[in-house]
Structure 1
Amino acid sequence: MDGEELLRRYAIGERNFSSVNFSRLHLEEVDLCRVNLTSAELTGTHLNDVNLSYANLSNASLQRVTLLGANFEGANFSNARLDGAEAEYANFKAANLSHANLSGRFQGVDFSYADLSNIYMDHGWIEGADLEGANLTGADLEGANLNNAYLYNAIFDSTVMPDGSIKDDEC
């Protein structure tokens, strides 16, 4: 399905696009709030300045995707693959990214209050990101770059830190 077809169907009220192949799609400045993209194929897609707040992208493949200024507030990315993703100044506030592969580059991204439990981030970059109040329980951050990340009130429980150490917060 191409971008025009997606936007046409969304405009008439369709919201379920689960398991649809959108590889290498280019979308900019569109509103797809609350769309269902469960298990969708979005590899190589450009989603710049799009609004996918409260969207369901669980089990979606977003490998090598470009996300510049995109809004994913409250979205569900559980078990999604974002390895190789390039995200700058995107909003993932309060999003569910549990069990996701985030081995990409996330610069200036807002992950505040997001569920990042059990994420895998082998050599990924979270540079200058806001992780205030984020849940990093069971996250594997070994080899990741957290340069200038804001971690105030982030939750660490059995979290593998970039240097390979385990961090557990006391209750």
Structure 2
Amino acid sequence: MEMVGSGEEITGEELLRRYAAGERNFPLIRIEDMECVLEGADLRGINLMGSHLHHAPWWSIDLSGACLLATDFAGTWMNGTDLSDADLTGACLRGTNLTNANLSNCILKGANLREAILWNANLRGAVLDGAILANAKFTGAKYFTINQYMTGILFWNTTMPDGTVIEGPTYIN
């Protein structure tokens, strides 16, 4: 399989232009442009596997059904972003702001959510097996509870939806 866009750095505007032209595969790209304007963009089903999208504003974007395996969103603002049905296996969401994000039915297996902010996020049906939730803030998050189906999750100073804190380290196996 050809790795379209492999390793190239592009602007947010170029990503939007190429997506609008029908391109969907952007693995391993880099967008580190704080000035890029992606707010409200429709990027459903896009493939950004392994991409570095540091610190770019991704507010209210539709990334539903996207392939985001091992994508690095460290420090990104994703307030109100729709990540429903997206695959974020192994993604780095460290320090990412996911306030009011829709994470329903997304796969977060092995994802690094250390220091992530998930205030009022919708986590209905999200798969978090193997996720790192150290210092994550789930205040007001919907459908986030510890249950018998969770495996391999690390809680450490994790703020739960009701405001309680799992001081930890606590590992659910």
User: TM-score if structure 2 supplies the norm length?
Assistant: 0.76
Q: Distance in 2 between matches of 1:65 and 1:13?
A: 20
Q: Which has the higher strand share?
A: 1
Which residue of structure 2 lines up, in the alignment, with residue 125 of structure 1? 142
Alignment-mate amino acid for residue 165 of structure 2: V
Which residue of structure 2 lines up, in the alignment, with residue 36 of structure 1? 52
Which residue of structure 2 lines up, in the alignment, with residue 140 of structure 1? 159
Q: Distance in 2 between matches of 1:118 and 1:57?
A: 17
Confirm whether residue 95 of structure 1 aligns to residue 114 of structure 2: no
Aligned length: 152
Which residue of structure 1 lines up, in the alignment, with residue 124 of structure 2? 107
Alignment-mate amino acid for residue 126 of structure 1: Y
Deviation by residue 1:47-97 (Cα, 9 ceiling, x = unmatched): 011101001100000001111210010010000000001121101100111
Alignment-mate amino acid for residue 122 of structure 2: R
Q: Distance in 1 between matches of 2:99 and 2:169?
A: 26
Q: Which moved more, 1:135-144 or 1:2-11?
A: 2-11
Deviation by residue 1:85-142 (Cα, 9 ceiling, x = unmatched): 1121101100111000011111100111011110011111234785321111111115
1:24 deviates by 1.0
Could you tell me which runs of 5 or more consecutive residues in structure 2 were left unpaired when the two chains were aligned: 1-12
Q: Distance in 1 between matches of 2:20 and 2:48?
A: 8
Q: Distance in 1 between matches of 2:133 and 2:79?
A: 18
User: TM-score if structure 1 supplies the norm length?
Assistant: 0.77
- Tell me if the contact between 2:28 and 2:50 (Cα under 8 Å) persists in the aligned partners: no
Calculate the aligned-residue CA RMSD, in Å. Answer: 2.7
